[in-house]
Chains A and B, each alone.
Chain A
Amino acid sequence: MRKIVHSFLSRERTILGTLFFLMTLFWLLLIFYFDGLVGLQLLAALLLVTTYFFWGVGSHYFDKTLHLKNVLEYLLISFIGFLIIAFLLI
């Protein structure tokens, strides 16, 4: 278990990974901040899911493991995430 947790934490210890992680947290905080302003919250949510998509695709690209199936997988999970947030906000 310890090995798995350590592996998890060490995976994103790259400049790109740290940057995308911080961006994700930034959009999350922005959604908290724009409480009550649905338009801005939706925009921040869109940026959040877009960050995740490019984070996933970028990681595969730099690892030279990019595959169309990966791209579609990140795209669909982003879409599902955005739908759920929009479902709650609207």
Chain B
Amino acid sequence: MKRLVFPSAENNFRPWLLHLRGLLTLSFLLLIVFFSYSSVLNFFSRPTVLGWQEKNISPSKIIDLINAARAERDLPPLGVNNKLEYAAFLKANDMFAKGYWAHQSPSGQLPWYFIEAAGYDYQLAGENLAKNFSSSSSLVAAWLRSPAHRANLLNSQYSQVGVSVVDGKMNGIPTELTVAFFAKPLSPKTGQLIQDVLAKGTLPTFQERNLKIDPAVSYRSFKELFGLGILLVLFLAALADYYYTERKLPRRYHSYSHLHLIFLAVLIILVIFLSHQVGVIK
């Protein structure tokens, strides 16, 4: 271990991790973990204890934030439609069942298929997707930053919206999917809340989700810890190397450890940031 990180006569006064062989081994190790992460996940995510994790993401909060963004631009608010909510729920479940995350399913079904399957007649419709966001505000902010998603959120022609947030496992990985359908109904009647249909039980009711069960050790935390661990060990090696360089100890050749230190510090900051901002939109 000492030879890996600290310069000594045994490693030619250069940490073994900064030798080409050490870096190649580390790259190879990363590639192996990268391509076999599902197996690693299954090993680490075998939950022995289930913990409750508070989540700040909910369909109603997302819709409130969308309407707030529309209000800032003098656009009328979007009304919640249960059929669109159901369509979003169907789409999210289809993605979990078939293991995809895209606007088009592997069997070629477009977003409109789910809107029609929910019995919603539309003139105009749009779909926004998001994955693994930790809060409604960060999710809506990400949509607003993307021109294509922003166009759906701020389209003056849309009058209704349906959002569904569903937890599940996608290809063995715990995932949270958010689907939002925006639409302009074909007739005003379609836009009304269909309480009578809900009463018959043909559509599921949607409840606020504020709590969620997560495995004690999640896939996400494994990736963060693994990445952070490697970066910290490299940082330590570069720091030790820099210290030895400053003391002008003998060596065959040397690169600039202070550059490694700056770069690795930037990466460590980045990994910490990405561990808090994990969502992706489509």
Q: Which residues of A contact B (CB under 8 A)?
A: 3-4, 7-8, 11-12, 21, 24-25, 28, 31-38, 45, 48, 52, 55-56, 59-60, 67, 69-70, 72-74, 76-77, 79-81, 83-89
- Using A52-B263, A83-B30, A85-B274 as known contacts, list a sample of 8 further A-B pairs with CB atoms less than 8 Å apart, ordered by residue number in A: A48-B266, A73-B23, A81-B263, A83-B27, A83-B31, A84-B231, A84-B271, A86-B34
Tell me the smallest distance from the CB of A37 to a CB of chain B, in Å. 6
Check B227 against A84 for contact (C-beta < 8 Å). yes
Check B223 against A87 for contact (C-beta < 8 Å). yes
- Flag the segment in B114-122, B183-191, B200-208, B254-262 that touches A: B254-262
Among candidates B23, B30, B242, B255, residue contacting A84 with C-beta atoms closer than 8 Å: B30
Q: Which residues of B contact A (CB under 8 A)?
A: 18, 20, 23-24, 26-27, 30-31, 33-34, 37, 130, 133, 138-139, 141-143, 145-146, 223-224, 226-227, 230-231, 234, 242-243, 246, 253, 255-256, 258-264, 266-267, 269-271, 273-275, 277, 279-281
Check A76 against B259 for contact (C-beta < 8 Å). no
Q: How far is the CA of A12 from the CA of B145 in the complex (A)?
A: 35
Q: How far is the CA of A35 from the CA of B264 in the complex (A)?
A: 21
Tell me the smallest distance from the CB of B244 to a CB of chain A, in Å. 11
Q: Kindly report which residue of chain B lies nearest to residue A36, judged by CB atoms.
A: B142
Tell me the smallest distance from the CB of B39 to a CB of chain A, in Å. 15
A residues near B224, Cβ cutoff 8 Å: 88
A73-B259 contact, Cβ under 8 Å, with A84-B231, A85-B267, A85-B274: no
A77-B262 contact, Cβ under 8 Å, with A7-B246, A83-B34, A87-B30: no
Check A28 against B266 for contact (C-beta < 8 Å). yes
Sorted nearest first, the 5 A-B pairs with minimum C-beta distance are A36-B142, A76-B23, A84-B227, A52-B263, A70-B255
Q: How far is the CA of A59 from the CA of B271 in the complex (A)?
A: 26
Tell me the smallest distance from the CB of A79 to a CB of chain B, in Å. 6
Q: Kindly report which residue of chain A lies nearest to residue B252, judged by CB atoms.
A: A69
Check B142 against A60 for contact (C-beta < 8 Å). no
Q: How far is the CA of A15 from the CA of B274 in the complex (A)?
A: 31
Q: Kindly report which residue of chain B lies nearest to residue A32, judged by CB atoms.
A: B273
Tell me the smallest distance from the CB of A88 to a CB of chain B, in Å. 5
Tell me the smallest distance from the CB of B223 to a CB of chain A, in Å. 6
Among candidates B18, B234, B263, B273, residue contacting A24 with C-beta atoms closer than 8 Å: B263
B residues near A79, Cβ cutoff 8 Å: 27
Q: Kindly report which residue of chain B lies nearest to residue A11, judged by CB atoms.
A: B258
Check A77 against B142 for contact (C-beta < 8 Å). no
Task: From B227, B234, B270, name the one whose CB has the most chain A CB atoms within 10 angstroms.
Answer: B270
Check A24 against B266 for contact (C-beta < 8 Å). yes
Q: How far is the CA of A73 from the CA of B227 in the complex (A)?
A: 19
